[in-house]
Chains A and B, each alone.
Chain A
Amino acid sequence: MDLYNVPLVGDSPGIDVRIRKLTKNYVDFVLSNIDLSVANSLRRVMIAEVPTMAIDMVEFYQNSSVLADEFIAHRLGMIPLTSEKAKDFKYTRDCSCTQNCHLCSVEMTLHVKCTEDQTLSVTSKDLISSNPDVVPVLEDGQDKGILIAKLNKGQELKLFCVVKKGIAKEHAKWSPCAAVEFDYDPYNKLRHTNYWYEKDKQKEWPLSKNAVEETPEDSSQPYDYNATVKHTVGSLSPETIVTQATKILQDKLEEVQISLENDSKPAMNNSFEEENEYFKESYF
């Protein structure tokens, strides 16, 4: 099958990347000469396994607002924080400290009291971080911040947050991306889907904008994936997400490979000691 003869890196041309568009929180690129499964792995890593920072624990000292403690805590967790330095932090579970320390966490405080007659909006701008590298994301100077709660006269909100590093596999609040679009085979040459239609298939199913990347249906030709990726929430830049995602994919593979080498040694030695010199020399 054609699918399994796509050349690898050693051969030419190998996997190819072409960036079409890059903005502050959007990158659009085309991956070609690569199998769907690999492109999909990259997508999955970008969504769920790139670490970021997020508020994970909240202690309330004073909450006389109309919202319940746990409700506010949940809202705080969702606030995107700048996470370019997330890779320098440890996961709290891997850290040698007993609870949390500056190596695995950042502390944030918030203390707002409404003293005037009109309602007061508490936003992400009111959060005071202990680390200037990890602060609530603001789009620009005009950004008013993300609304956390509204206070009436006399109401007070005083709390303490612990920010931890995590991945979106555990909770979606740690996801660096808002959306990852992924499109392949715009002409449906592979027949991976059947289009339902009333009268005219061509009219009812307009071509995707990625159709320009491929020629209309004619014969078998190399695979081309239009991995139109993605919208970020601002905690990481889009190019960082892609870069880190490929690195994480490599780390995952290396972890399996190291374990494979270590764990398969006894098995290999038992059954292969005499018969097969080939393994001992060339592989382990």
Chain B
Amino acid sequence: MDQDQMSVDSDREQNYEQEEDTMRVEKEHEGDEADQVNDTNTNTNTDTDNVANNADANVSDLNLEDSGVDQSNAEESIDSQLHKIKILPGASSDLKSCTFQIREEDHTLGNSLRYMVLRNPNVDFCGYSIPHPSEHLFNLRIQTDTNSNINAVNALNTALNDLINVSKHALETFQDELESKDYIIEY
């Protein structure tokens, strides 16, 4: 099963590469034409070359998008392995208000993390949301006090540390409690 799947995927990639190649050939032709037209003036010639190059870039961008959902999904899955967390566009330049996107996590982490961030007196706002139930990610928005020297990344880091310590402590107390045998045991 898995092998079948893989071979299908690699076929798709090949197709994609072929498509890209044909696009490149077409672009080269366009470039040639532009060269011929502007042969007399070197300045304009370079300009049009640039334009042609830009056009190339645009076309190839479009091509990426057009080449189908599969390609972008494949890229996304690779991306998610590389980036567990990323800062979404729109964060303030001092990073005091940002939205973090955390992949492959849900309410388990989201809610307790939100609480831990909110414990910090320098944090003005913190909330999380799962934008769509079929996408396994959540967005965590943190805004810190503009007068403090704590930014959102620090606040998140502190909260993560706190939560790790809380669960470590919970584990230790649970194990101590288990060893104390100070409870009803029935076997």
Contact = CB atoms under 8 A, between A and B. Distances in A.
A243 to B, nearest CB: 6
Interface in A144-173: none
B102 A256 contact: yes
B79 to A, nearest CB: 12
Interface in B1-60: 2
A260 B160 contact: yes
A24 interface: yes
Interface in B123-153: 149, 151, 153
A246 B165 contact: no
Contact of B83 (A23, A29, A263): A263
A78 B151 CA distance: 48
**Chain B's interface: helix, strand, loop or mixed, by majority?**
helix
Q: What is the predominant secondary structure among interface residues of chain A facing chain B?
A: helix
A249 interface: yes
A271 B112 contact: no
- Pairs of residues from A and B, 9 with the lowest C-beta to C-beta distance, nearest first: A259-B84, A246-B171, A41-B112, A37-B111, A37-B115, A44-B108, A17-B173, A9-B169, A23-B186
A243 B175 contact: yes
Interface residues of B, number: 54
Interface in A14-46: 14-24, 29, 31, 34-35, 37-38, 40-42, 44-45
A71 interface: no
A283 interface: yes
Contact of A22 (B153, B156, B169, B185): B185
Contacts of B153: 260, 264, 267-268, 279, 283
A253 B109 contact: yes
Contacts of B162: 8-9
Interface hub of A19, A23, A42, A267 (most chain B Cβ within 10 A): A19
Interface stretch (B61-69, B70-78, B86-94): B86-94
A258 B149 CA distance: 22
A257 interface: yes
A4 interface: yes
A75 to B, nearest CB: 21
Interface in A234-281: 239, 242-243, 246-247, 249-250, 252-261, 263-264, 267-268, 271-272, 275-276, 278-279
A29 B174 contact: yes
Nearest to A92: B2
A103 B136 CA distance: 28
A81 to B, nearest CB: 22
